[in-house]
Amino acid sequence: MIKPSRWHRLPTVPVLAALPQMTWSRAGGVQPAAETAALMIFIALNFMVSTSTDEQNQFHAVAEGTYVDLGEATGLSRALISAGLQRLQALGLIAPQGSHQKRRYKITWPAEHRFFKLPCQAITNGNVIVPFKNFTMRSKHELHALKLYLYFASIRGNYIAYSMASYETIFERTRIPERDIRRAISLLIGAGLLEGVDREHSQTRGVNEPNKYYLKGYAALIGQRQGHTPDAATFAGAEVAA
């Protein structure tokens, strides 16, 4: 079951390594929708984890999620849940533990504890990840959207509200074709995973800045520097979806 929290942590390095490998293709006999399902399931599992730190200060995260739990959270069929879990294992993002009757999934965390925050309460209702209801599992653009969502989350600075990346950089890091990025952004906004986009550029630096992207629930993600409380201006400027 999903554990309600303002946000949950995800491992940066394994996620960024996996994103470019995920394509809308039937290579290897795997249905393309399994790629999209894998990312949906990965998010759900990270919302269900129990965490601990061992004597060597190594962080561990293990999720107990039955097919019923994962189906409720994502809206996926059992077949797609199975295919998505297999894909996550192949990518090295999870490792199954226990028996089929009581399966648990260990999230891959390197010794270097680099993580990013993903909002939880802002996009969930009970055990349901609400934006996933808008996914049809029939389009490469939905895979691109989820890859872009995780990428935006992974590059956001802890003390700022938004993520910034040029289309060129997005392609380099995720392999989403530049011609498809705008469609992916529109899908994220329509589904309720992205709050909005700020296309205003600095008039003082004399250079064109990338757009600023605000995740749904971004205000809950911002860390507070000692002795500093972010004011309203910190959160201003996003072009909110209608």
pLDDT tens digits, one per residue of 45-68: 999 999 998 888 889 999 999 999
For residues 154-165, give the mean pLDDT. Answer: 95
Identify the sign of the CA torsion 21, 27, 30, 33. positive
- The values of phi and psi at residue 44, to 5°, are -60, -45
For residues 155-166, give the mean pLDDT. Answer: 95
Backbone torsion region of residue 194, taken as left when φ is above 0, otherwise alpha when ψ lies between -120 and 50, otherwise beta: beta
pLDDT tens for 66-116 read 999 999 999 999 999 999 999 999 999 999 998 766 789 999 999 888 999
Which H or E run includes 74?
A: helix 67-74
Which residue type, as a one-letter code, is found at position 115? F
- The values of phi and psi at residue 194, to 5°, are -120, 130
The residue written with tokens 């249905």 in the block is: 31
Tell me the two tokens of residue 157: 């600075």
Strands 49-53 and 239-240: what pairing? unpaired
